Structure 1
Amino acid sequence: MHRFLLFFLVSCCFPASSYGQQQKSRPNILFIAVDDLRPDLGCYGNDLIHSPNLDLLASRAVVFRNQFVTVPTCGPSRFSLLTGRLPRSQQDLSNAIFEIRREDSADTVRPESMVEQFRRNGYYTVGIGKISHSPDGYIYGYTEPKGNELELPASWDEMLLDAGKWGTGWNAFFGYADGSNRNDRKKQVKPYEKGAVNDLGYPDGLTASLAIEKLQELAGKKQPFFLGIGFFKPHLPFNAPQKYWDLYEEANIPLTPSPGIPENVNMESLHGSAEFNQYQLGEERASLSQPLSDGYARKLKHAYFASVSYVDAQIGRVLDRLHELDLDKNTIIVVWGDHGWHLGDDRVWGKHTIFEWALRSPLIIKTPERQTGAARDEIISSIDIYPTLTELCGLNPPAGTDGRSFARLLEKPRNKKWDNVAYSYFRRGITMRTPRYRLSRYFRNEKPVIELYDHRTDPYENHNIAAEHPELVEKLMPLLEKGNTGLYKLSD
C-alpha cells in the first residue's frame, strides 16, 4: 500500500478564503499531464483497470466526468490548455504550434501561457517531461540531437527530463526496454512491449524519480511553486514492465462496444490509424475496411491497460513524496489527460477524430481543503482549467482567453448558471458537446457533413440522427456556430 493513503487520512484544510493573501501562503500547483489517457480508470467506472493511486486521489478530489479537449492531438491540445484559447487558425491544429508561436514575437500572436503567468506572479516554475509538445520542452525533430530553444521560453525557471539510456527526449518518448527506440529502428518495432524491467526501465519511472528529487528542493524555497510533470504512457508504443501486464487476464478484457463504422457517417470523419500502423512489426494492420481480429484487439487493449497501470504507479510515487514533505497541505493537484484514444472503437486505433472517444479525457482536481470526493457531470472544456487555477490562487483572470473558471464547481453541489458546452476541432470539422447531444459539422465535399448524436440513447455515438431530426440540427446549429473562431467559412 502506498504511503499516499496517509495523505488523505491526515491532510488538513487550507481555507479557500485565504487564497491569494500573501505570496508565501498561495497554494502550490502540481500539474500532471498524461499522454493519450482516456477515462479508463476505476474512478471513471472501469472496474477492470488497476489504477489504485488515481482512484485514491479521486476519493478526496473532484472528478470531472465530462471534460473535453479542444483538439484530439498532443501539441495543439496542450497549447489550447496552456493558453486557455480555442484554435483560431489551421496552424493552431498542428503539432508544430509551439514552434510556430515561439517564432511570433507579437504578444497578440503569442498569448501568455498559464505557466508564464504563474511565474510572473512570483511562482517558481519547473517542468519535467512532456508539458508542451516536445518530451523535454525543447524544439528539435524526432531524429535530431536535442535542441537548445524552449517551446515556452518565458514560462520555465527549469525545464528538465532524465532521458536515461535513450539519450534524447524523442528517443525516450518512443523508447523500448533495451535502450533502443522507434526512431533508430526505423519503425521496425511492435506497438507494445512487455518489459523484463523494473519501473526505472522505462522513461516514466525516471520522470517520477526526478520529480521526487525536485520536490525536495522546492520544499526548501520561500516561494510557491508550479511543478508540471508530463508522463509519456499510455502513448504508443504501449510499453510497460511485465508486472503491470500481469495485473490482467487478457481473455477477460472486453472488446469495444463500437466495432463498426457509425451509421450514416462518411469515412472521412474517421481515419486509417496511420500513427498505429507506423509500428511496422505489429501482427496486423488496422484499417476501416475491417476490424482487427478479436485476439489482437485484446492484446493491444491489454498493453494499453498495462501502460495505464504503470503510469498510475509513477503518479503514486510522486504523491507519496508530496505528503512526506508536508507539501500536500498547501498544494492544488491536477491530473489531466491531453485527449482520448480509439481502442478499436469505430475501427480506429488512435486519436485524430472529433468523436467522443478521442475528445473526452480525465480531469481530477484536489484542493487542499477538500477531504471527500465528488463527481461533476457539467460539460468542461480544457480551456477552462487555466482561469480556474488562477482564481484558486488569487491571481488576476488571464486576459484574452476563451475559458471560464469553474472554481465554484469544486465546492457547490449545484450551479444552474454553468454554460454546458465544449467545442473541439479536427479533420476540417467543428464539434460541440452539450449534456445530451454532440453536433458536428465538417467543411468538406464528402457527404454527409452534419452529424448529430443523442447521448441519452446512443452513448457510443453509433448512429448519426442528423437527417432524421433536422429540427434539432436547426435548433442547435446557432450554438455550434458560436464555436467557429475563424477556422472555416460557414458558407463552405
Structure 2
Amino acid sequence: MSKRVLVIFIILLVSSCVSKTGNKNTSPKTKDSPNVVFIAVDDLRPELGCYGNTIIKSPNIDNLASEGLVFTNHYVQVPTCGASRYSLMTGLRPKKTSHLLNNAFESEMGHKSDTIQPESFVHQFKKNGYYTVGIGKMSHSADGLVYGYEETPSTIKEMPNSWNEFLFNSGKWKTGWNAFFAYANGENRQSLKRQVKPYESGDVEDEGYPDGLTAELAISKLKELKNKNQPFFLGVGFFKPHLPFNAPKKYWNLYDRNDIPLAPNPFIPENVNKKSLQKSGEFNGYQLTDEKAGLSKPLSDAYSKKLTHAYYAAVSYVDAQIGKVISEIKALGLDENTIVVIWGDHGWHLGNDLVWGKHTLFDVALRSALIIKVPGKLSQEKKVNAIVESVDIYPTLMELCGISANYPLDGQSLVNTISNPDSLQNNVAYSYFNNGISMRANQFRLTKYWRTEEPTLELYDHDKDPWETKNIAKENPEIVKSLLPLLAKGNTGLYN
C-alpha cells in the first residue's frame, strides 16, 4: 500500500474514534464512543493464512485481517503466559524478576485496592466510563482467580479493579484450571496425574472443549452489552492452541498430514550454548507422549508431523470460535462501532531448535499474531511491517478511543507507525527471559545474557537467516558494538 493511502487511512481511522469522544481528556464516555472487543489467544504463533501460511485453515481470523491491520513483526515482552499478559495490560516492560513470572498479576495486583493510577488498560477504560467484561483467560489464571492448578478456586481476583464483570463457564471440568487442561471425557491433566498425551482428537462438538463454551458465553454477553447505555470493553480469552493440543475431530480432519511441514531448523543453532534453549519440560509433563523431547536429538519426523497437525487443528478450532464471536458482533450491528483486536500472548517452537514449547529468547518464541480492525475503514488487508511490541497496544487503544493515559507507559501508540510506514519510531522491540534481554531492531536480533556460560552474546541477521540458525556475533563485532547501546536502553533495571 502506498504511503499516501496509509496516511488517508489513519486520518479517517482516528477521526472515526476521536471525533465521537471529543477532546482526548473527555470523560465519561458516551454510548457513541467506540466499543472494544479484545481477543487473547494462548500460544498463537503467526501461523495463519493472513501471515502467509498456505496450509493452516484459519478463515475467520483471515477474514477479519482482510478488513483490518496485520502486524507482521509484533513481539511480546516475555515468552511465558502470565508475564506476557502483565506487560500487555500495564503497558510496561519488566522491571523486576517478579514481572517475568506467571504469577505477576497475583504478586503485583491481586491484593491491592483501587488506586488513582489504573492497574491495567482495562481499568483505564473502566475509569473513563466503559463497562468492562472479561471472559476466560485474560490475565494468567484460566478464570481470573488466584489459585494453584490443583487447588480450590479462591475469591482473590488477579485484576481486582479492572472488571465490572468477569465470567467463565468451566462446564463439566468444574474449575478454570481443570478446564484449561481439559480432555473431552471431562477429565484433565491434574485429575489423571499427568498420565495423558499432549494431543487429543475428540469425537465431540465445539462445546465438548472449554473454548466452545467461552464463545457461547461471549455471544450471550454481547447481546446484553448492545443494550447498555455506555460503551463497553469485552475481553475474551481462548485457551487453544496451548497444550494439550486437543480439538474436535472435525478440525483434525481439515488436514492431510502428508502436507504438514516439519520445522526448517530442527537442530541447535551454531555457536549457541544450550543454556539459551530449554528442555521442553512443559511438553514432557504430558507423560504419555509418544516420544520425549530434548536437546540431544530431534523427535522423529512422523511424531513431529503429528504434533504439528495437532497444533494446526487446535488453531482451526479456536479460529472457528473467534468466527462465532465476530459473526455475532456483525449480527448485532455492533461492527460499525467496535474495534476488534486479536492478540497472541507469545510464539512457540514447533520443533525449531529442538524445542517444543516457548520460554526462550529466540524470534520464534517472541513473535506472535496481532491484528487490529477499526470499523468503517478501507476493506482491504493492510500489512504493517514495522517492528512493534505488546506494550504498544495500551497507548494505541487509548488514542483510538480518545482517552488520555496520564502516566508514563513504556509502549508507544502505533497510530503514527501505521500512518508513516517508513518511520523508525517503533522499529525496536525488547524481550526478557532466562537472565537475558533480546532486542529485535530492523534486520537484526541481538541477545545478551547475564550468565557464566559462553557465548553471552548472540546476533542473528534476519535478512540472511530468518530462522536464526547461526549466531554471528563473534565475526561481527562492529555490528554488536553499534547495537549494544540500543539494547542497554531496554535494560529496565533487571540486570547489572
Q: TM-score range by the shorter chain?
A: over 0.9
Q: Give structure 1 stretches of 5+ with no counterpart.
A: 1-11
**Contact 2:18–2:401 at 8 Å: present in 1 too?**
no
The answer to whether the aligner puts 1:164 opposite 2:165 as a matched pair is no
- Residue in 2 that maps onto 1:128: 135
Check 1:216–1:418 CA distance in 2 against 1; reply closer, same or farther (3 A cut).
Answer: same
Q: Which of 42, 47, 61 is equivalent to 1:35?
A: 42
Q: Which of 355, 374, 378 is equivalent to 2:382?
A: 374
Deviation of 1:17 (Å): 4.6
Percent identity, aligned pairs only, is: 59
Deviation of 1:472 (Å): 0.5
For 1:136 and 1:406, the matched residues in 2 are separated by 30
Check 1:458–1:468 CA distance in 2 against 1; reply closer, same or farther (3 A cut).
Answer: same
Deviation of 1:61 (Å): 0.4
- Residue in 2 that maps onto 1:141: 148
Deviation of 1:398 (Å): 4.5
For 2:254 and 2:433, the matched residues in 1 are separated by 36
Give the 3-state SS of the residue equivalent to 1:65 in structure 2: strand
Give the 3-state SS of the residue equivalent to 2:242 in structure 1: coil
For 2:63 and 2:293, the matched residues in 1 are separated by 36
**Contact 1:101–1:109 at 8 Å: present in 2 too?**
no
**Contact 1:199–1:241 at 8 Å: present in 2 too?**
yes
**Contact 1:19–1:392 at 8 Å: present in 2 too?**
no
For 2:442 and 2:20, the matched residues in 1 are separated by 31
For 2:400 and 2:479, the matched residues in 1 are separated by 38
Instruction: Report 1:201-350 matches (<5 A).
Output: 201-350=208-357
**Contact 1:101–1:110 at 8 Å: present in 2 too?**
no
Residue identity in the other structure for 1:65: T
Give the 3-state SS of the residue equivalent to 1:67 in structure 2: strand
Deviation of 1:252 (Å): 1.4
The answer to whether the aligner puts 1:425 opposite 2:432 as a matched pair is yes
TM-score, with normalisation over the residues of structure 2?
Answer: 0.94
Deviation of 1:438 (Å): 0.1
Q: Which of 392, 401, 412 is equivalent to 2:409?
A: 401
- Residue in 2 that maps onto 1:6: none
Q: Which moved more, 1:23-32 or 1:260-269?
A: 23-32
Pairs aligned (count):
477
Q: Which of 385, 388, 398 is equivalent to 1:390?
A: 398
Deviation of 1:434 (Å): 1.0
Deviation of 1:358 (Å): 0.4
Root-mean-square deviation over aligned CA pairs = 1.6
Q: Give structure 2 stretches of 5+ with no counterpart.
A: 1-11, 23-28
Residue identity in the other structure for 2:411: G
For 1:57 and 1:349, the matched residues in 2 are separated by 29
- Residue in 2 that maps onto 1:20: 21
**Contact 1:131–1:137 at 8 Å: present in 2 too?**
yes
Deviation of 1:460 (Å): 0.4
Deviation of 1:102 (Å): 2.4
Q: Which moved more, 1:432-441 or 1:97-106?
A: 97-106
**Contact 1:104–1:110 at 8 Å: present in 2 too?**
no
Check 1:250–1:306 CA distance in 2 against 1; reply closer, same or farther (3 A cut).
Answer: same
For 2:106 and 2:217, the matched residues in 1 are separated by 26
Give the 3-state SS of the residue equivalent to 1:312 in structure 2: helix
For 1:393 and 1:147, the matched residues in 2 are separated by 34
Check 1:108–1:433 CA distance in 2 against 1; reply closer, same or farther (3 A cut).
Answer: farther
Deviation of 1:419 (Å): 3.2
For 1:214 and 1:65, the matched residues in 2 are separated by 31
1:383-420: per-residue Cα shift (whole Å, max 9, x none)?
A: 0000000010000025121010012344x263425231
1:322-372: per-residue Cα shift (whole Å, max 9, x none)?
A: 001000110000000000000000000000000011000000000012222
For 2:476 and 2:386, the matched residues in 1 are separated by 25
For 1:122 and 1:415, the matched residues in 2 are separated by 36
Deviation of 1:480 (Å): 0.2
Deviation of 1:435 (Å): 1.7
- Residue in 2 that maps onto 1:8: none
- Residue in 2 that maps onto 1:7: none
**Contact 2:136–2:238 at 8 Å: present in 1 too?**
yes
Check 1:191–1:109 CA distance in 2 against 1; reply closer, same or farther (3 A cut).
Answer: farther
Q: Which of 58, 69, 76 is equivalent to 2:76?
A: 69
Moved over 6 A (4+): 106-110
Q: Which moved more, 1:143-152 or 1:423-432?
A: 143-152
TM-score, with normalisation over the residues of structure 1?
Answer: 0.95
Deviation of 1:24 (Å): 1.9
Residue identity in the other structure for 2:19: S
The answer to whether the aligner puts 1:176 opposite 2:176 as a matched pair is no
For 2:30 and 2:126, the matched residues in 1 are separated by 12
